[in-house]
């Protein structure tokens, strides 16, 4: 009897491991890999009409300034939030949290919001199933953290501190001395 239970457990574990790459919500498997450079809609694509890019009641226009592929080219850390508040109450709370973090990191991190109604191609590219999902990319576009479901400030803040510190260490040093003009 004990041997049969062990055999069943071994078969179950093997099947579970074999299915890992096919599980819905495969975005967790992107950790440590380059983010897909998917084009997403921006405010300029919808003539500044936020209602054509998000179902969020209180959107922050700063989250819709860049297409994701354009944001990658800026070589800054990125927080990419998948949330459709039009049908997800947790998504509303998640976007409120991101607005707080955006105010703290606005010059150091790019925050982007993807709404399933308006950017479904991003959901496909990042293998997102369900909501909300939060992805954090470093300045090189590598996925450094993936949070399926609601994430708390205390969970996200240390990740942001780390990618911002790494970006600052890798940034070229800028001289603050004013260049002297030759005398005439």
Q: Which CATH number do you get for residue 139?
A: 3.40.30.10
HSE at residue 5, side-chain half, CA atoms within 13 A, is: 2
> In this structure, is residue 6 part of a structural domain?
no
Query: Is residue 17 one of the residues assigned to a domain?
Result: no
Task: With respect to residue 7, please indicate whether it lies within any of the assigned structural domains.
Answer: no
The label of the residue with tokens 């049908």 reads 87
Q: Which helix (H) or strand (E) holds 149?
A: none
pLDDT at 1: 52
The pLDDT score that the predictor gives to residue 170 is: 83
Predicted pLDDT at 173 = 55
Ramachandran assignment for 175, one of left (phi > 0), alpha (psi -120 to 50 degrees), beta (any other): beta
Per-residue pLDDT at 71: 98
- In this structure, is residue 3 part of a structural domain? no
Please give the Cα distance from 87 to 93 (Å, whole number): 12
Which residues in the chain land under pLDDT 50?
A: 4-24, 175-184
Contact 69, 38 (CB under 8 A): yes
Q: Give the three-class secondary structure for 113.
A: strand
CA gap 174, 16 in Å, rounded: 51
Q: For residue 138, say if its preceding peptide bond is cis, omega within 30 degrees of 0.
A: no
Is 15 a domain residue?
no
Domain count along the chain: 1
pTM confidence score:
0.80
Which pLDDT belongs to residue 162? 97
CB 99 within 8 A of CB 77: no
Check residue 180 and give its pLDDT: 46
């Amino acid at each position: 009897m004990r041997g049969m239970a062990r055999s069943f457990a071994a078969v179950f574990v093997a099947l579970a491991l074999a299915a890992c790459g096919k599980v819905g919500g495969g975005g967790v498997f992107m950790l440590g890999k380059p983010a897909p450079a998917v084009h997403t809609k921006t405010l300029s694509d919808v003539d500044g009409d936020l209602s054509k890019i998000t179902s969020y009641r209180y959107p922050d226009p700063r989250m819709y300034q860049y297409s994701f592929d354009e944001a990658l080219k800026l070589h800054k850390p990125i927080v990419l939030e998948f949330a459709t508040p039009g049908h997800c109450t947790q998504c509303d709370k998640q976007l409120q949290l991101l607005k707080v973090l955006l105010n703290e990191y606005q010059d150091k991190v790019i925050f982007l919001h993807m709404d399933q109604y308006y950017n479904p191609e991003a959901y496909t590219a990042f293998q997102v199933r369900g909501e909300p999902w939060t992805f954090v990319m470093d300045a090189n576009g590598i996925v450094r953290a993936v949070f399926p479901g609601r994430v708390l400030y205390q969970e996200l803040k240390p990740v942001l501190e780390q990618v911002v510190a790494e970006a600052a260490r890798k940034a070229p040093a800028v001289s603050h001395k004013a260049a002297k003009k030759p005398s005439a």
